[in-house]
Amino acid sequence: MDEPVAPAIADTAVPRLPRGVRLVHNEAQGGWMLLAPERVFKADAVSVEILKRCTGQANLGAIVDDLAKAFAGAPRERIHADVVKLLAGLAEKRLLEWG
Amino acid sequence: MTSNGIGIPAPLGLLAELTHRCPLGCPYCSNPIALDNRSGELDSATWARVFREAAGLGVLQVHLSGGEPAARRDLPEIVEAARAAGLYSNLITSAVGLTPQTLSVLADRGLDHVQISIQDSEQASADHIAGYKGASARKRALAAEVVKFGLPLTVNMVVHRANIARVEPMVDLALALGASRIEVAHVQYYGWALENRAALMPTREQVEAAVGQVERLRKIHQGRIVIDAVVPDYYARFPKPCVGGWGRRSLNVTPAGKVLPCHAAEVIPGLEFWNVREHSLAEIWRTSPAFNAFRGDDWMQEPCKSCALKEKDFGGCRCQAFLLAGDACAADPVCHLSPHHALLAPLAAQGADVPYNYRHL
């Protein structure tokens, strides 16, 4: 299977949700939603775990380490690739900033 | 979208028309021809209750609109109430009458996003379209304030005969103003826009050029600015899935508290709309006659009823079906399968450089 090549993002880069992008929980919508100007995205369980850690405090490396700890069993490289793929996709849509 | 247990989907968005008052006179205003007056407007406590009920129903985003929402002195309390209810708040403003001081208060009270309308990239034309001298300069100045406060900015550009040749400079202007998103919205012909249809209608060639430009600009500016487009109806072959389907995704509360499935719904005769002064939003969403009028497909006629796309476009727009075909249950005449589709070309051909009938009370 062809996997898209993950963009090179340094482990020291700090991801955060910009002003105007919020992760909220809504019972009637059945879970976590990422809200942005005129846009609403349902966040799946994996995305929620990643996005909750994008507080503007932790850098990419620390977030991956933390996830690897929380989800023991999954190889760190795989987690790293998943996190980068999600965050790069969000940054492309201006739903995430790198500090 | 998930069901709330009784087969009716949970709404995502609430359009809160806080007032119909507005300093501008745009000839394509989406407000109805018969405007609500100030004395009948809901107070901020009622809006706060509506926001809480909306969030409970599943609504995630509230669009604070008008008229000009800043015409309300209690706008900060209203923004605060939206935030307290857990809603994402979007201020849809003309920027005329909204001061930097008020904007700063709104930012502090938790406003999430600001959308400013820009009528044209050329200032004289922009002021002419808005029917307000100096509007363009004030909009640009307020856009800078929005960016300064760190709020995300959307620029909304309504596209029509007078400005359709300037899609590219308008996108450039949005970028220069620091917008992260631009809506290139071709006029939809309801309310005041329908009154002004001839003066606003572009030619087919103009529309095709503009649509191509948007595609090109999207690629060029990918990652810098999000370009959303509202496509023009009269030259299309397939209808839009209007408001994401009747009573499926959104509700609109008028200044006086009437709850509509879409802002134009009052043009359809015989619909019974309920008011938040008498009913909870949940009651209205689930059981009011207007919201149930076009849910499901019992109301549909052919060619919609047996159409493979009926779950996708819901037969198009009910208001347009009524306005053009004379029957709100008919297929939207925009659809090439509608027996009324041939009506559109001659209507579109009536486009002409005639004076505007500006929106007025």
For residue range B204-243, what is the model confidence (pLDDT) as tens digits?
999 999 999 999 999 999 888 989 998 889 999 999 999 9
Q: Is residue A2 part of a domain?
A: no
- Predicted local confidence at residue A4, as pLDDT: 54
Q: For residue A93, what are the CA distances in angstroms to A40, A51, B300?
A: 12, 15, 37
* Residues B32, B243 contacting (CB under 8 angstroms): no
What residues does B61 pair with on adjacent strands?
B13, B88
| Residue with more model confidence, A38 or B213 | B213
Decide if A91 touches B, using CB distance below 8 A.
yes
Please say if the pLDDT value at position B44 is more than 60.
Answer: yes
List CB contacts of B16: < 8 A, sequence separation 6 or more.
B47, B50, B51, B62, B63, B64, B65, B78, B253
Between B12, B113, B223, which is nearest A37 by CB? Answer: B113
Nearest residue on chain A to B56, alpha-carbon basis: A28
The string of pLDDT tens digits covering residues B66-91 is 999 999 999 999 999 999 999 999 99
Q: What is the pLDDT of residue B1?
A: 41
B330-347 mean pLDDT: 96
Does any domain span residue A56?
yes
In a domain, A73, yes or no: yes
Cis, peptide link before residue B303, omega less than 30° from 0: yes
Q: Quick one: which of B171, B120, B181 has its CA closest to B146?
A: B181
Buried b (16+ CB within 10 A) or exposed e, A40-71: bbebeeebbbbbebbeeebbbeebbbebbeee
For residue A26, being part of any structural domain is answered with no
Q: Tell the residue number behind the tokens 């793929």, with chain if given.
A: A85
Residue A17 lies in a domain: no
Q: How confident is the model at residue B281 (pLDDT cuts 50, 70, 90)?
A: very high
Does the structure show a pLDDT above 70 at B2?
A: no
pLDDT score for A5: 55
Kindly list the residues from chain A whose CB atom is less than 8 angstroms away from the CB atom of residue B57: 28
| Alpha carbon distance, N-terminus to C-terminus of chain A | 33
B3 has a pLDDT exceeding 50: no
Residue A88 in contact with partner chain B when CB distance is under 8 A: no
For an interface test with A, the pick among B103, B112, B148, B224 (most A C-beta atoms closer than 10 Å) comes out as: B112
pLDDT digits (tens, 9 = 90+) for B150-165: 999 999 999 999 999 9
In degrees, rounded to 5, the angle at the alpha carbon of residue B329 between the alpha carbons of residues B326 and B330 is 65
Residue B250 scores a pLDDT above 80: yes
Question: What residue of B is the nearest CA neighbor of A21?
Answer: B112
Q: How far is A49 from chain B (nearest CA, A)?
A: 20
A32 within a domain of the structure (yes/no) = no
A36 within domain boundaries: no
Number of Cβ within 10 Å of residue B67's Cβ equals: 25
Cross-chain residue pair B90–A24, CB shorter than 8 Å? no
> Does A40 contact B180 at a Cβ distance shorter than 8 Å?
no
**What does the alpha-carbon distance between residue B115 and residue B94 come to, in Å, rounded to a whole number?**
8
Burial class of B297 by CB neighbour count within 10 A (0 to 12, 13 to 18, 19+): middle
How far apart (Å, rounded) are the C-alpha atoms in residues A50 and A73?
Answer: 17
Q: For tokens 């709330």, what's the residue? A: B4
Give me the mean pLDDT over the B348-353 stretch.
94
Domain count, chain A: 1
Instruction: Report helix, strand and coil shares of chain B as percent, to nearest 5.
Output: 40, 15, 50
Report the alpha-carbon distance of residue A52 to residue A69 in Å, rounded.
15
What phi and psi values does residue B246 have, to the nearest 5 degrees?
-60, 125
Q: Is the ipTM of this complex over 0.90?
A: no
SS3 percent helix, strand, coil of chain A, rounded to 5, is 40, 20, 40
Min Cα separation B225/chain A (Å): 8
The pLDDT assigned to B43 comes to: 98
Q: Is A2 on the interface with B (CB under 8 A)?
A: no
A35 belongs to a structural domain:
no
Give me chain B's average pLDDT, please: 95
CB B292 within 8 A of CB B8: no
Res. B4 pLDDT band, cuts 50 70 90: very low
Contacts of B113 in chain A (CB under 8 A): 20, 37
Structure tokens at B303: 């060619």
- Report how far apart the first and last C-alpha atoms of chain B are (Å, whole number): 38
Confidence check: pLDDT of B168 > 60: yes
Using the predicted structure, report yes or no on whether residue B300 has a pLDDT greater than 70.
yes
Task: Let me know how long chain B is.
Answer: 361
Quote the domain boundaries for residue A52. 44-94
Which residues are CB-contacts of A45 (< 8 A; sequence separation ≥ 6)? none
Tell me which of A2 and B357 has the higher pLDDT.
B357
